[in-house]
Chains A and B, each alone.
Chain A
Amino acid sequence: MTTLPQTTDKKLGLVIDLDTCVGCHACVVSCKGWNTENYGAPLSDQDAYGSDPTGTFLNRVHSFEVQPEEGPAQLIHFPKSCLHCEDAPCVTVCPTGASYKRQEDGIVLVNEDACIGCGLCAWACPYGAREMDAAAGVMKKCTLCVDRIYNENLPEEDRQPACVRTCPSGARHFGDLGDENSDVSKLVAERGGIDLMPEQGTKPVNKYLPPRPKDVEPEFDILAPYLEPVATDQKGFLGWLDKALEKI
């Protein structure tokens, strides 16, 4: 059903730390790997080794430059995948009921057997989280690795989304954002986690932690006092030259 649940028991989602993400794209690769081999239609590539390669990805890493009013510009790597919105516009537009939001954990999924590939859900998503697979003709999106997080055949430490498991800098966190005592909720509260495009009214579950302010280094150069600028009132030849040049 494409009617959204009033509330969900859990709000499973990701917290992405823009301060520690190094932009290595490891999450992109592990996501593509896991989701090609497991749940649903594989994430296909077209012309992968040709001149115009394209392919389906559920997670992509942008890089943005932020120029503050003062000081140097900052480069921020920005992983982006489905935000599993509470008020998911992609779900309600679906004409077939293929798109749905789970009442038990809030994960937004696509039943690929019912998807006609009309693409309307991708239009409704402001974040570009849904991509139509050119080979299967069905809509693909982040499943929050629903086939890992509850999978008792995997060791317990692997029961989290592939992107979180693989991140070498600990920039990705997975948990229940509906439980205010969860680690992820505490992290969001502590670091002032933000929503993307809140004006779109989608109420995203995933949160982004903004980069922390840069430390200001104290000045402790022992040679500094000896390198004070030379006296400005010159005497002798240099003083005469300075005055003469200024008069010209």
Chain B
Amino acid sequence: MFKDADLINVYSDYDYTIYVPNVNKLEGDYVLKPKIDGEPYYIPVLWRDIVNANRISNRIKAREIRFEGDIEAEAYKQLRIDLVREKDTYTREQIETMILNPSDEVLEKIVTIRDVKTIETILSQLIALKNTNQFFIAEKLEMYIRARKEELSKGLRISELEITPTENIDLAVVEDIEEEVEVEEIEVAPVVTKPVVKQVAKAKAPIKKTTPAKKK
């Protein structure tokens, strides 16, 4: 249980400075500096100011401002933030995973977001990752994010975007790989079961051509 006068270590999870107001204006406000080489820059903030910030802003809920590791769960509990129920917010880590591993589920998540701020964060994180020139970023994902942002800025909360599923895997190839794996397993299997299973495998794949190299 934190008291009003307790100092809590918080930090900005993103690469920009976040200004947090102080309840007492004469004391000046808190400046949460960006991370340095991925290391959080902790600033002690009075608990009463955290409560105030959470009252007037979305940044704690959106986990742009984060708490030092071991006290985070307790702080969320006391601020009445139920992360299971908060479906529209993602941490920076989650956003980056989403961007770097795009799939149809990720697109569905993006289309169901109802908060412009979240979409803007995702988009700017995407651009930032793209600018590093270290990753392949899916263009389809970027198009969906931009389209959703446009929808939200027009005030369309329930999306009209349709997701066309991506057929990025050639199914025939997958079957081939599975069969090859099966055959190889059989060769390692014990002698007694060997003939029976081999027949089954052959029945499954009558036209399969295994390369001579594999058979050896």
Same complex: no
